[in-house]
Structure 1
Amino acid sequence: MKKKVVLFILFVFPVVAYLFFASGINHFGKLPVLKEKIPDISEMDSQVQLKDKITILGFLGSNLDDKKGNAFNLNQKIYKRFGEFNDFQVVMVVPKGSETEAQELKKELGEISDVDKWHFAFGSEAEIQSYFKGLGTDVELASDLSTPYVFIIDKDLSLRGRNDDEDEGVKFGFDTSSVAELNNKMVDDVKIILAEYRLALKKNNADRSK
């Protein structure tokens, strides 16, 4: 009996586990597209581009000191975990005139992690309002042009999120003031979109080698 149990663990269980996870990948392998073809941030700031990048997009507004906690939460829970992946970046939109504060914030973030893939995009109030409206979310900007929510933008400039979230139904963004939301929801969704692109890359490489 003991031998049978050992054989089951060594041979049968791994096969069952593989089939289980493989079916999971097929079922959960794509993060829903909530809006296609959002504007590229380069239309507002030519120094930053979203096209061909997997981007975490946020709006810190004009009071950067008040949003340091949000930035540090995002850095610790998301950026430090996924920043090593190719084509991954974080882009924060702030008003023109906040360049010095943005650099100071980036320097502080750099004390605890490599921030080469943290970028700031600058625009006028009208430009930021117009750009944010183009995302087509149910989130609103505060009077200082900020929101605690960040958004996942894919390489083709599509806004990704959840269309069957257990709490919100359609979930456009993730609240950086909530460590629990970042841990329990956003980490999973970033994993999914990165896995989606890795699988697509492997398939393309396999097709080329045929």
Structure 2
Amino acid sequence: MKKKIVLAILFILPVVVYLFFASGVNNFGRLPILVENVPDISEIDESVSLKDKITVLGFLGKQVDDRQGNAFNLNQKIYKRFGEFNDFQLVMVVTDGSEEQVENLKKELGKLSNIDKWRFAYGSEEAIQSYFNGMKTDIELDQTLATPFVFIVDKDLNLRGRNDDEEDGVKFGFDTSSVAELNNKMVDDIKIILAEYRLALKKNNADRSK
């Protein structure tokens, strides 16, 4: 009997420990709101909106070709994992005149996955910079109106992130040039926000059935 108990502990304990760390400690709470009422991207491009979607928002600027590596990392580590959710989307902001570069990127991404939830919002350089300033993060766009960082925006246009990150303290965005950061941090945080909405939906359905 003792032998069976010992074997059970040796088998179960590592699994429990793995699941705990794999899910991330943050999964036991809500993902913090860092900025409320982020402007809707429809202010720049009427064909795209963040409202009522869980959005990964990025800025590729005017040299989209130079950012293909970042887009591929994001596609492989984030989009492939969460793109199946109906209320999830990935929005990239680019400058007017970047249509050909965007089509090239979409063609390359399409070789790796279905890209029906990749959206591209076009705007002038001035409009993009003004919009980004309105997000009120500690990150800046470079001279091409781009950044390797992407942001999580919830359905109510709140920017979500971490307020106690072990490296950055307050973490507004996630670096797409770092596969480790996407794997170890961003995946966990998107899991949290998706779980929030699933729980809220279950609660609403339960309340209606009373």
**Normalization by structure 2: what TM-score?**
0.89
- Partner of residue 113, structure 1: 113
The alpha carbon displacement at 1:27 in A equals 7.1
- How many aligned residue pairs are there? 200
- Partner of residue 67, structure 1: 67
- Partner of residue 102, structure 1: 102
**d(CA) in 1 for partners of 2:129, 2:160:** 20
The alpha carbon displacement at 1:74 in A equals 0.2
CA contact (8 A) 1:73 1:177 kept: yes
CA contact (8 A) 1:29 1:195 kept: no
Q: Tell me the C-alpha RMSD between the 2 structures.
A: 2.1
- Partner of residue 177, structure 1: 177
- Partner of residue 196, structure 1: 196
Q: Per-residue displacement from partner, 1:60-86 (whole Å, max 9, x unpaired)?
A: 011111100000000000000000011
Residue 52 in 1 paired to residue 48 in 2?
Answer: no
CA contact (8 A) 1:64 1:101 kept: yes
- Partner of residue 42, structure 1: 42
Q: Per-residue displacement from partner, 1:110-131 (whole Å, max 9, x unpaired)?
A: 1110100000000001100000
**Normalization by structure 1: what TM-score?**
0.89
AA at the equivalent of 1:56: V
Unaligned 5+ runs, structure 2:
none
The alpha carbon displacement at 1:2 in A equals 4.4
What pairs up with 1:1-210 in 2 under 5 angstroms?
1-2=1-2, 5=5, 28-210=28-210
AA at the equivalent of 1:91: V
Runs of 4+ in 1 over 2 A off after TM superposition: 1-6, 24-29
Task: Give identity over the alignment, percent.
Answer: 74
**d(CA) in 1 for partners of 2:148, 2:103:** 20
**d(CA) in 1 for partners of 2:67, 2:111:** 17
**d(CA) in 2 for partners of 1:189, 1:154:** 12
SS in 1 for 2:84: coil
SS in 2 for 1:116: coil
AA at the equivalent of 2:117: K
Q: Per-residue displacement from partner, 1:127-183 (whole Å, max 9, x unpaired)?
A: 000000011000000000000000000000000000000000000000000001101
SS in 2 for 1:51: coil
**Relative to structure 1, is the Cα distance of residues 133 and 204 closer, same or farther in structure 2, using a 3 angstrom cutoff?**
same
CA contact (8 A) 2:27 2:192 kept: no
CA contact (8 A) 2:26 2:192 kept: no
AA at the equivalent of 1:82: F
**d(CA) in 2 for partners of 1:128, 1:203:** 38
Unaligned 5+ runs, structure 1:
none
**Relative to structure 1, is the Cα distance of residues 161 and 26 closer, same or farther in structure 2, using a 3 angstrom cutoff?**
closer
The alpha carbon displacement at 1:106 in A equals 1.1
